[in-house]
Every structure is written in structure tokens, then in C-alpha cells.
Structure 1
Amino acid sequence: MTGTTHAYEVAVRAEAALGEGPTWDADAQRLIWIDILGSRVHTYDPVSGRRTVMVTEQHVGAAKPRAGGGLVVNLRDGVGLYGPGGEDFRWLHHDPVPGRRANDAAVAPDGSLWAGTMRYDEATGGGTLSRFAPDGTVDVVLDDVTVSNGTGWSPDGRLMYYIDTPTRRIDVFDFDGEQATNRRKLADIEEGAGFPDGLTVDADGCVWVALWDGGAVRRYTPSGDLDRVVELPVLRPTACTFGGRDLADLYITTARTGLDAPHPLSGSVLVVPGAGKGLAQPAFAG
């Protein structure tokens, strides 16, 4: 049976053009999220309400905590590293491609970064998904994606979930700790329900997916069955993650880009308190 809820709250009221990539930083007990087109990395402490903003020199597709402090960022021209205070930037891998930008990324159980790219014009097959080891070694996992998006792992680390948005599919791979193989479909998003964007995996192994142009976040079981829908007032939720001290609150980023009359909350970060139980996310080991 599918359950539906409207029990969202506003965590951060903002007007991000393309809010994305929410990540719970367990060490700092704060949410990290980005505005891709605004070239900004935001943080939010839900206890104190403190917020920070860091401007990057390029469009930023993702920002994740590093094990030694600081951030790893998926930028237009490659993957870079910031020190603990947001200083000492250096490239981990610099690979500019005209017309291409960074998009979503995730840290695997082994501490590697799986980072996606896409064309600004969203040309079919113009994007990639690559694995970045802590020492900067790069392996291209997929070289023919269009809009590389949500990536996540099952609680036991044996499965990897992945979204190439225009396919309207959530795919699943077998995962051996470093390599993803045997790609297959977990679930389809039907016509009229929006497009799958960012995802997160909860402690039950269920996959939560934000639906761009669908105004909702959905939860799918490990067998691919839809069992919960969180309906939202904004048309373009982009990604979600669990956070808070008990990893029970579902944070959802949203976008206002491309909308003639965006909802007043478009571009804000929403939260569904007590939505479930998330998994602690590893930090990038580099």
C-alpha cells in the first residue's frame, strides 16, 4: 500500500536557482547543500540555525565532506579540494571539456567519489560517471549518460543505485566495493510524474527519489515497489538526504530555474521531520 504525506517544513528559506546535493556532515552536525548555477556551497546547522555560504569560481555540481576536514567539490572543469576553512583550493583532477559541467556526486563506502557530468545543452550521451580514488586516480564507469544524477549504495554495500534522468529509470548495479556491474532496472517513473533526479538510500535499503517536475519525493522498496510519496508545493525538488542527530529527518533541495512563476518556496530547502532512518554517509578519503 502506498502512503502519502504532506508533512513538510521549511528548513532554509532561499531562492537558489538550482538547489541540489544535500549531504549530512555527521562530524559537524550540519547540512551541506549547493546552488549549481549560483556557484555556491551552503551549510545549515538545524540546532543553532547558523548558515554559511561559500562562492566557488565555477558552477558546482556537488560538495561532500573530506575525512580530514574540508570539502571535495565536483566543479565544471573537474574535481577539486578545499581545506577545513574553505581555503587552500587545489585540483584533484582537472579535465575541462567545452560545453560540459559537473552534476551530482556521491561518496562510496570505500571513501571514493563517484561524480557525474552532463552537457549544458543536455545532449544525449554527452555526460559521464567516474570514480575518483583518494589519490586522484580516475576510472570512467559510464561514458554515455545524458544527465548523470542520483547515486547511492545499499546498507550492506553490495548494490549501487543510479539515475540518468532522461531514462525515467532508477537503475541498480551489483557492487563489489570498487566496481559496479550487471546494470538493470529497479523502477520506472511513469509519464506525467516528473523525472527522477537525486536519491538517497535509507537504513531499510529503500530508495528515496526526488522527482523534477513532479512535485514529490518517492520511496521505493529494494524490490522496486513504490510504498510512499511525499507531496510538495514546489514543482522541482532535486535531491534528498537524511540528517539530524538521529538521521531521521528528510532534507529536500529544490530549484526555481526555468519556471515562469515559481512557487515562493522554490529554491528553498524543505524537511520532513521523522520521515525514516537514514544511513551515515562516508566522507571522501582524500
Structure 2
Amino acid sequence: MSGPVYEVAVRAEAELGEGPTWDPVRGRLLWLDILGARVHTYDPVTGRRTVRTTDQHVGAVKPGADGGLVLNLRDGVALLGPDDSLRWLHHEPVPGRRANDAAVAPDGALWAGTMRYDEAPGGGTLSRLTADGTVETVLDDVAVSNGIGWSPDGRLMYYIDSPTRRVDVFDHDGGRVANRRPFVEVETGEGFPDGLTVDADGCVWVALWDGGAVRRYTPGGALDRVIELPTPRVTACAFGGPGLTDLYVTTARVGLGAPHPVAGSLLVVPGAGRGVAQPAFG
């Protein structure tokens, strides 16, 4: 079940690299360093890269329908306009809490997660935000809110609260979720599920924190592919590139006692599969 060989797309030393997202309008990959408070872009055709520092820790960045970006920041969700202006869409600072992973649903709403810095059980949330600023807390008892994704037909939503070691699945309809149940569980000693993406075949790709790999599970929950990587803290994955066939993988350096040459870099597995175009926020 070994997968294809990885390449280093961007050699970096991100403390907590996260959140790869393909921006189809600009033909670039968005990713970030949560604890470094940096938003990165990378164009795989030209090799052009940019880095923007934010005023606070940033958990996710996604393309906006207006050509700007939506940011899941420590104190809430903000919009970064095409003119580089920043304004809060939802401002809710909570001492000891920060933003984490987020994803845009098929209807254009943002599902944004939070967690406490100390990862205390029940200290995090998962909320749904629309472009008019309406916020609904969907889950209020999360420890480390992480990967979120939808089946190609939008009828299922996958979700990870990392300490549970599970990927859960919900029925999804019109922005509502119900019938939460386990999809797969990662065995003790094989790492914690972190970020995820869903491919065009409905298979779920899961990055393993302290597992040094990305796993692909079939829609039925069977493990059918493992891409092993040379650094333990693999955080998230997403398909990108002109044909959405390359799997981009973020990694982290934080907490590693021994040096790992590619830890904190953005990796890519060319031709790993076939992704699904993601909607813009709003």
C-alpha cells in the first residue's frame, strides 16, 4: 500500500505548517504557519512565492468569492480584501483559545474550528459562518478541531477532533449535519488524524500527526493507500496543480526533539490522485 514518492515543493521551516488549499482562480496554493502567523502562497508553474505575516495566530486561509481571502484567526474570522484591507466578519476573542482548521462547504459557508492552546477537552468549537456574518455553533465540546471535508455529492461531511483518534462522518443537507458516527479510527501508536481532503472518487485522505504519513480510505472506510513521509508531524493535505492531481502536504517542526530535514516544508506527491475543485467562501 505504499504510495508514490514525494518532492519538496517549498523548503521552509514552518513551526506549524498547515491548511494547504488550492486557489483555482489564481492558480496557486495557499498554506500557512499557524504559530509563525504567516500566510504563504505558492505558484507551482512559475515557482513564485509570497509570505504575509498576520497580527495573530492564523488557523486557516481560504479563497473568497470577491477575490480576497477569508482567515480563521485567533480572535475570530476576518476578510482580507483584494485591496489588502482587513475587517472582522466575526470577532469573538476567548482567552487561551485560538483558531484551527477550517473548510468551505459546497454552499460557500465557512466551517471554522477552534481549540484551546492547552488542548483541554471541550475547550474548542466548530462553527458555520456565512458571508453576511451569521454564525452558528455546531459543536461546542471539541478538544482539537481539525480536518473537515465533504463527499463529492455534498451529502456527507467528514470531521476530525484529533484526540479521539477518529474520523467521523455526518449526514449533510443544506448546511445542516446529523447522525454523527465513526468513519475510521487510527490505532494507538500510529499517530493522530489531523487534516483531511476528499478526492473525486469519494476517498478520504488523512494526514497523521506523529504518524509520518498520509492515508487514503475508501468511501467504505477501508485503508487502501499509505504515503509514508520522512518527518513525523504531517498536518494536512489537499489536491492542487492545474489538473488537481498533485497532493500537497504540510508539515510541522514544533516539538520535535531531533532534526528532520524537511520538517516545516511544503511537500508534494505528483500524480497522487484526482481532487475536487473547492468553492470560494461566500
11, 14, 21: which is aligned to 1:13?
Answer: 11
Deviation of the 1:261 alpha carbon: 1.5
d(CA) in 2 for partners of 1:262, 1:212: 16
Partners of 1:6 and 1:235 in 2: how far apart?
A: 18
* Other-structure match for 2:38: 40
Residues 58-207 of structure 1 correspond to what in structure 2 (within 5 A)?
Answer: 58-85=56-83, 87-207=84-204
Q: Is 1:213 paired with 2:210?
A: yes
Query: Aligned partners of 2:121 and 2:136: how far apart in 1?
Result: 21
How far does residue 110 in structure 1 lie from its aligned partner after superposition?
0.3
User: CA shift at 1:260, angstroms?
Assistant: 1.5
Residues 104-163 of structure 1: CA distance to partner in whole angstroms, max 9, x if unpaired? 000000000000000000001100000001101000000000000000000000000000
Checking the alignment, whether the CA contact within 8 Å between 1:195 and 1:211 is kept in structure 2 is: yes
Secondary structure of 1:186's match? Answer: strand
Q: Measure, in 1, the Cα distance between the counterparts of 2:46 and 2:90.
A: 36
Q: CA deviation at 1:4?
A: 0.7
Q: Does 1:51 align with 2:49?
A: yes
> Does the residue aligned with 2:255 lie in a helix, a strand or coil?
coil
Q: Distance in 1 between matches of 2:49 and 2:86?
A: 21
Amino acid at match of 2:141: D
Give, as a single letter, the amino acid of the residue that structure 2 aligns with 1:223.
G
CA–CA distance in 1 between the matches of 2:187 and 2:215? 12
Structure 1 residue 272: Cα displacement:
0.4
Q: Matched residues in 1 for 2:174 and 2:237: separation? A: 24
In the superposition, the TM-score normalised over structure 2's length comes to: 0.99
The alignment covers a number of residue pairs equal to 282
Once residues 267 and 188 of structure 2 are traced to their aligned partners in structure 1, the CA distance between those partners, rounded to angstroms, is 25
1:268 is the counterpart of 2:248: no
Runs of 4+ residues over 6 Å off in structure 1: none
Q: Secondary structure at the match of 1:129?
A: strand
CA distance in 2, matches of 1:264, 1:37: 19
User: Normalising by structure 1, what TM-score?
Assistant: 0.98
Deviation at residue 6 of structure 1 after TM alignment: 4.9
- Give the alignment's Cα RMSD to 1 decimal: 0.6
Q: Which runs of 5+ in 1 are unaligned?
A: none
- Contact 1:109-1:177 within 8 A present in 2 as well: no
Q: Distance in 2 between matches of 1:261 and 1:132?
A: 40
CA–CA separation in structure 1 for the residues paired with 2:261 and 2:273: 27
Give the Å deviation of 1:37.
0.2
Task: From 231, 235, 240, give the equivalent of 2:237.
Answer: 240
Q: Are the aligned partners of 1:157 and 1:177 in contact in 2 as well (CA < 8 Å)? A: no
AA matched with 1:182: N
Matched residue type, 1:61: G
Contact 1:40/1:53 (8 A) holds in 2? yes
Give how far 1:177 is off: 2.2
Q: Deviations over 1:62-92 (max 9, x none)?
A: 000001111000000000000114x110000
User: Does the alignment pair 1:281 with 2:278?
Assistant: yes
Aligned AA (1:49): G
Measure, in 2, the Cα distance between the counterparts of 1:26 and 1:283: 9
In structure 2, C-alpha distance between the alignment counterparts of 1:237 and 1:177, rounded to whole Å: 32
For 2:11 and 2:119, the matched residues in 1 are separated by 29
Per-residue CA deviations over 1:227-254 (Å, capped at 9, x if unaligned) read 0000000110100000011100000000
Corresponding residue for residue 257 of structure 1: 254
Give the Cα–Cα distance (whole angstroms) in 1 for the partners of residues 3 and 198 of structure 2.
19
Q: In 1, are the aligned partners of 2:4 and 2:272 still within 8 Å (CA)?
A: no
Gaps in structure 2 of 5+ consecutive residues: none
Q: Secondary structure at the residue paired with 2:2?
A: strand
